[in-house]
């Protein structure tokens, strides 16, 4: 296993588009060559060494390459975009679009991540230990298909549009979410351990959403069908009693989605 | 010397001159095809060695949606259509984005790369004509024109109800001049007007709500007026009930209506030399036949109804049609048929957009994806090809995807491959839903089209149908020097290797416009001048005066002032009016 260590030094007054920072791209390159890789900042391209010091060579293949970003980079976007294998460890906060469209491998963010983490992700895993913002695993604006595979875990909170258009894969939010969690999902699983504000599962046509906390304003297009306890989805456990709803019946495609809501925290439902 | 070029030793396909793959030289001087070049010209001529290559007239698309309000709505409502498909600017070209609805610049470049030089926008709502012309003006590489949407126009419906044919004729000719448009488009006659009240029409003899005009009246009158005025192209008809199972019957019955109308295109132009008669004799041009050819009674017993229409076309000579092929993948459905889009919304649940163009027409837009796994979509794919393969005489049909309704025009090379290669069709059958095999007859069709037939479907016939063959779609002496040279050697062509057909047509080795090489192997090398064609019809001054009095009186109901209504010539790139002599 070869480690490439990127230590942020640069001026990030404009955000940097770093879609080239992937194990696929760094494999087979020396530290020198990696430093010369170009990234966009605003309207111009600069070598990576303008923003980071580079230590260590890439491995022989993407699987053998680990990239360690040693510090906070909230203004560096698209780290790990479309990566297929290997590992990226960000020892701080990550910018927007971390791991968007990724197909395999692993990304760990020790701090927070900005919006669009794992947008339209196809496989692999992203673990965000802090909080994140909007559009986790979501579809691009206007697009119908969000994440199709893989797993995103967020230890803290996410904001709105978690898993919008999800059509596969799993998203686990250990904290709270706000609006439009799981809007238009057709397949896959979203587990929110904390609370949600409103419009959970709006326009869903399939898939499963679990909310362990309280939903402040419940979406009207759902029907209560059952009460189940101690849910288990492979290795994901949701202890306690849950009300099982199906929906969303508010749209022409009669919903075959399932929405589980904790009984204890939603007595009024 | 600009516009002077010699294309040597290519296999030439010029169906209007009955040239079918002969090895010959093509000479162009000052942008026009000539028999030969003088030795003085030959000194500094640009010579292109086309040995082992296919030479055709520049491609002509007589039905595409590339400019105007609905296209722009398609761009705006589909950000996802743009972010993965983009092209950087070069010193010569603009940047651009968009797959199914590319930006105007990108659209022009992509057509040019495929060897196309002429494209007609098939639906211009009168009130949006200015916008449409602004976009056409900014579309590089292509000579263009637009068809004016008149099938649900209040003035026409009123005049027809009152039986005032002279005023109706005066209105059409004035509208053509006012909006600088080329021909008549008729979309879901009567139905779009009813859509303003949440209704549609379901039968040819069903009168619409306020005007009490039936689709039959509308089709009959428009086609008669079209010939009375001498408009270069037949009425471009989008039949009623489009997209509903069983709609093929109403389509066939619609085609019967103008059977007795005699084609009388009467343009004042100089004709290039052609062996075949380059003038149209059809009185109706059916658009995107596939969407109008659904069989069955519901989505459960859905089947192809193409044969019902092609049988009629094969035995009658007053119809020409374009196919509306479905090449699978992303599409954006956009049409003047508002109720049809609403039905699609109910079917798919996708986002949609709908507009009522005041007293004139309406439209709708909806993103779509044709899937091989979907029984209906796979049948539609087969039906689009059936339309072209079942029509025995290629001079009665035109290849389109109704871009971007069936799929974007960039899929034309793929459609050509399916037409030319049985193996290409078999391989696709193996990948798609079995309904394509069970519910259509394409599986039993073994016809493989020749390069000559492809040249008819993609340039000669579209140009002839819309009355442009006096300068387009042919390499006869006097024609525009628009040539496409493809890296396809007809002697070595192996149709089972259909990938080579796709590659060949995707990027023309050379696209030549008015004697200038404008694109070469997928790269734009020059931005040519372009022309915008429209018809300029002379009619009786008294009729025009009394018609205009009516129009002005009613204009208080429009949201724009009468003076702001017309499209001035400055909105057009090289405005090229075509003088038409109306019957007195």
Q: Write out pLDDT tens, residues A167-225.
A: 999 999 999 999 999 999 999 999 999 999 999 999 999 999 999 999 999 999 999 99
Q: Do B78 and A253 touch (CB under 8 A)?
A: no
Q: Which residues of A touch B350 (CB under 8 A)?
A: 144
β-pairing verdict for A208-211 and A187-192: parallel
Sign of torsion, CA B501 B502 B508 B509? negative
- Chain B nearest-CA distance from A136, in A, is 17
Please list the residues that pair with B365 across neighbouring strands: B334, B353
- Chain A nearest-CA distance from B366, in A, is 12
Residue of A nearest to B84 (CA): A140
Please state, as a whole number, how many other Cβ atoms lie within 10 Å of the Cβ of residue A169: 25
Give the mutation candidate from B78, B81, B86, B349 for the A interface (greatest A CB count, under 10 A).
B349
Q: What is the pLDDT of residue B539?
A: 84
Is residue B314 reached through a cis peptide bond, with omega within 30 degrees of 0 on the bond before it? no
Q: What is the pLDDT of residue A73?
A: 97
Q: Which residues of A touch B347 (CB under 8 A)?
A: 252
Which residue among A141, A205, A252 places its CB closest to the CB of B79? A141
Q: Which residues of A touch B349 (CB under 8 A)?
A: 203, 205, 251-253
Q: What is the pLDDT of residue B49?
A: 96
Q: What is the pLDDT of residue B348?
A: 86
Which residue among A143, A205, A252 places its CB closest to the CB of B346? A252
Question: Which residues in chain A belong to E strands, given as ranges?
Answer: 2-8, 16-17, 38-41, 44-47, 52-55, 65-69, 76-77, 87-90, 106-109, 125-128, 151-154, 167-173, 187-192, 196-198, 208-211, 215-217, 223-233, 236-247, 257-262
Q: Which residues of B touch A142 (CB under 8 A)?
A: 77-81, 367
Q: Do B77 and A142 touch (CB under 8 A)?
A: yes
d(C-alpha A91, C-alpha A52), whole Å: 14
Q: Give me the total of CB pairs closer than 8 Å, taking one residue from chain A and one from chain B.
A: 25
Is residue B339's pLDDT more than 90?
yes
Which residue, among A257, A263, A185, has the nearest Cα to A223 in the 3D structure?
Answer: A257
d(C-alpha A170, C-alpha A101), whole Å: 14
Q: What is the pLDDT of residue B261?
A: 96
Residue of B nearest to A205 (CA): B349
Q: Kindly report which listed range (B25-39, B208-222, B344-358, B471-485) carries the lowest average pLDDT score.
A: B344-358
- Chain B nearest-CA distance from A104, in A, is 20
**Count of H-run helices and E-run strands, chain A:** 2, 19
Which residue among B81, B347, B349 places its CB closest to the CB of A251? B349
Is residue A93's pLDDT more than 80?
yes
Which residue among B78, B81, B349 places its CB closest to the CB of A253? B349
Average pLDDT of the residues of chain A: 95
A74-87 exposure pattern, b = at least 16 Cβ within 10 A, e = fewer:
bbbbbbbbbbbbbb
Q: Which residues of A touch B74 (CB under 8 A)?
A: none
Which residue, among A66, A62, A61, A34, has the nearest Cα to A50 in the 3D structure?
Answer: A34
Write out pLDDT tens, residues A123-158.
999 999 999 999 999 999 989 899 999 999 999 999
d(C-alpha A64, C-alpha A24), whole Å: 10
B483 to B2, B444, B502: CA distances (angstroms): 15, 35, 19
Q: Do A144 and B77 touch (CB under 8 A)?
A: no
- Chain A nearest-CA distance from B298, in A, is 17
d(C-alpha B194, C-alpha B207), whole Å: 10
Is residue B473's pLDDT more than 70?
yes
- Chain A nearest-CA distance from B197, in A, is 22
Residue of A nearest to B351 (CA): A142
Average pLDDT of the residues of chain B: 95
Q: Do B80 and A251 touch (CB under 8 A)?
A: no
d(C-alpha B373, C-alpha B434), whole Å: 9
**Helix, coil or strand: residue A122:** coil
d(C-alpha B175, C-alpha B154), whole Å: 13
Q: Do A139 and B80 touch (CB under 8 A)?
A: yes
Q: Do A142 and B346 touch (CB under 8 A)?
A: no
- A254 burial level (CB within 10 Å; 0-12, 13-18, 19+): exposed
- Chain B nearest-CA distance from A10, in A, is 27
B352 to A185, B77, B341, B342: CA distances (angstroms): 19, 9, 8, 8
Which residue among B79, B345, B346 places its CB closest to the CB of A142? B79
| pLDDT top residue among A269 and B288 | B288
Tokens representing residue B299 in the block:
């989505």
Q: Do B80 and A140 touch (CB under 8 A)?
A: yes
- Terminal C-alpha separation, chain B: 45
- Terminal C-alpha separation, chain A: 52
Write out pLDDT tens, residues B225-243.
999 999 999 999 999 999 9
DSSP tag of A89: E
**Helix, coil or strand: residue B534:** strand
Q: What is the pLDDT of residue B213?
A: 94
Q: Which residues of B touch A145 (CB under 8 A)?
A: none
Q: Which residues of A touch B79 (CB under 8 A)?
A: 140-143
Give the mutation candidate from A144, A221, A254, A256 for the B interface (greatest B CB count, under 10 A).
A144
Residue of B nearest to A254 (CA): B349
For residues B118-138, average pLDDT: 97
d(C-alpha B436, C-alpha B442), whole Å: 8
The residue assigned the tokens 């202890």 is A239
* ipTM given for this complex: 0.84
Q: What is the pLDDT of residue B581?
A: 85
For residues B125-145, average pLDDT: 97
Which residue among B80, B83, B349 places its CB closest to the CB of A252? B349
Q: Which residues of A touch B346 (CB under 8 A)?
A: 252
Confidence of residue A269 (pLDDT cuts 50, 70, 90): confident
Question: Which residues in B464-509 belong to E strands, given as ranges?
Answer: 483-486
Q: Do B83 and A140 touch (CB under 8 A)?
A: yes
The residue assigned the tokens 């701080």 is A92
DSSP tag of B191: H
Is residue B584's pLDDT more than 60?
no
Q: What is the pLDDT of residue A255?
A: 77
- Chain B nearest-CA distance from A203, in A, is 10
Helix segments in B349-448, DSSP class H = 375-390, 412-420, 422-431, 435-438
For residues A83-96, average pLDDT: 97
Confidence of residue B1 (pLDDT cuts 50, 70, 90): low
Sign of torsion, CA B96 B68 B173 B150? positive
Give the mutation candidate from A142, A164, A249, A252 for the B interface (greatest B CB count, under 10 A).
A142
Is residue B192's pLDDT more than 70?
yes
Q: Which residues of A touch B78 (CB under 8 A)?
A: 142
Confidence of residue A23 (pLDDT cuts 50, 70, 90): very high
Q: Which residues of A touch B81 (CB under 8 A)?
A: 142
């Amino acid at each position: 296993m070869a480690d490439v260590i990127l230590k942020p030094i640069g001026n990030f007054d404009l955000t940097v588009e770093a879609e080239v920072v992937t194990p696929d791209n760094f494999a087979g390159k020396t530290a020198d060559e990696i430093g010369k890789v170009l990234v966009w900042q605003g309207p111009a391209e600069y070598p990576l060494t303008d923003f980071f010091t580079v230590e260590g060579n890439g491995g022989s293949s993407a699987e053998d390459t680990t990239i360690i970003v040693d510090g906070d980079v909230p203004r560096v976007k698209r780290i790990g975009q479309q990566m297929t294998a290997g590992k990226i460890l960000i020892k701080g906060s990550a910018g927007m679009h971390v791991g968007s469209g990724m197909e395999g491998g692993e990304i760990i963010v020790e701090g927070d991540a900005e919006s669009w983490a794992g947008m339209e992700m196809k496989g692999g895993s992203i673990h965000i230990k802090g909080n994140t913002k909007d559009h986790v695993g979501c579809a691009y604006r206007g697009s119908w298909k969000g994440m199709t595979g893989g797993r995103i875990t967020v230890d803290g909170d996410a904001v709105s549009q978690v898993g919008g258009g999800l059509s596969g894969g799993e998203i686990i939010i250990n904290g709270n979410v706000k609006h439009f969690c799981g809007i238009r999902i057709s397949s896959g699983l979203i587990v929110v351990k904390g609370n949600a504000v409103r419009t959970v599962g709006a326009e869903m046509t399939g898939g499963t959403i679990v909310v362990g906390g309280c939903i402040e304003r419940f979406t009207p297009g759902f029907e209560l069908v059952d009460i189940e306890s101690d849910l288990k989805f492979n290795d994901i456990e949701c202890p306690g009693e849950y009300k099982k709803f199906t929906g969303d019946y508010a749209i022409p495609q009669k919903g075959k989605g399932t929405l589980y809501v904790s009984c204890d925290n939603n007595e009024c439902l | 010397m600009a516009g002077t070029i010699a294309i040597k030793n290519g296999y030439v396909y010029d169906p209007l001159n009955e040239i079918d793959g002969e090895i010959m030289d093509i000479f162009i001087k000052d942008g026009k095809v000539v028999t030969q070049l003088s030795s003085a010209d030959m000194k500094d001529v640009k010579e292109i060695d086309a040995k082992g290559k296919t030479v055709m007239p520049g491609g002509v698309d007589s039905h595409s949606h590339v400019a105007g309000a609905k296209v722009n709505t398609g761009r705006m409502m589909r950000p996802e259509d743009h972010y993965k498909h983009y092209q950087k600017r070069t010193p010569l070209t603009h940047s651009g984005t968009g797959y199914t609805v590319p930006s105007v610049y990108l659209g022009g470049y992509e057509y040019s790369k495929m060897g196309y030089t002429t494209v007609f926008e098939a639906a211009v709502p009168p009130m949006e004509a200015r916008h449409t012309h602004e976009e056409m003006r900014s579309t590089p590489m292509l000579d263009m024109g637009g068809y004016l949407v008149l099938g649900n126009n209040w003035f026409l419906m009123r005049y027809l109800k009152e039986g005032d044919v002279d005023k109706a004729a005066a209105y059409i000719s004035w509208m053509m001049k006012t909006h600088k448009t080329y021909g008549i488009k008729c979309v879901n006659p009567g139905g779009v007007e009813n859509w303003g009240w949440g209704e549609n029409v379901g039968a040819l003899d069903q009168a619409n709500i306020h005007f009490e005009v039936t689709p039959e009246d509308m089709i009959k009158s428009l086609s008669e007026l079209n010939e009375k005025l001498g408009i270069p192209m037949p009425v471009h008809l989008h039949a009623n009930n489009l997209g509903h199972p069983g709609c093929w019957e109403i389509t066939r019955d619609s085609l019967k209506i103008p059977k007795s109308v005699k084609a009388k295109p009467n343009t004042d132009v100089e004709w290039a030399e052609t062996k075949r008669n380059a003038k149209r004799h059809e009185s109706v041009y059916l658009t995107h036949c596939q969407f109008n050819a659904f069989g069955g009674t519901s989505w459960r017993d859905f089947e192809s109804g193409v044969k019902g229409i092609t049988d009629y076309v094969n035995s009658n000579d007053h119809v020409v049609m374009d196919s509306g092929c479905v090449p699978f993948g992303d599409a954006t459905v956009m049409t003047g048929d508002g109720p049809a889009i609403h039905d699609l919304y109910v079917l798919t649940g996708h986002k949609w957009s709908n507009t009522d163009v005041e007293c004139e027409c309406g439209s709708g837009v909806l993103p779509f994806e044709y899937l091989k796994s979907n029984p209906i979509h796979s049948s539609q794919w087969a039906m689009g090809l059936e339309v072209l393969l079942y029509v025995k005489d290629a001079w009665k049909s035109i290849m389109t995807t109704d871009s971007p309704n069936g799929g974007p025009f960039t899929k034309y090379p793929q459609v050509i491959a399916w037409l030319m290669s049985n193996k290409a069709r078999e391989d696709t059958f193996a990948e798609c839903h079995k309904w394509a095999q069970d519910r259509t007859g394409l599986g039993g069709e073994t016809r493989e089209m020749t390069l000559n037939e492809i040249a008819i479907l993609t340039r000669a016939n579209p140009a002839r149908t819309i009355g442009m063959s006096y300068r387009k779609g042919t390499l006869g002496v006097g024609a525009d020097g628009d040539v496409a040279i493809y890296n396809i050697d007809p002697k070595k062509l192996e149709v089972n290797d259909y990938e080579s057909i796709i590659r060949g047509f995707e990027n023309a080795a050379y696209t030549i416009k008015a004697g200038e090489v404008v694109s070469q192997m997928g790269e734009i090398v020059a931005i040519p001048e372009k022309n915008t064609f429209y018809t300029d019809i002379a009619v009786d001054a008294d009729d025009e005066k009394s018609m205009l009095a009516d129009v002005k009186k009613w204009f208080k109901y429009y949201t724009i002032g009468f003076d702001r209504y017309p499209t001035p010539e400055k909105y057009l790139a090289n405005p090229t009016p075509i003088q038409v002599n109306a019957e007195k």
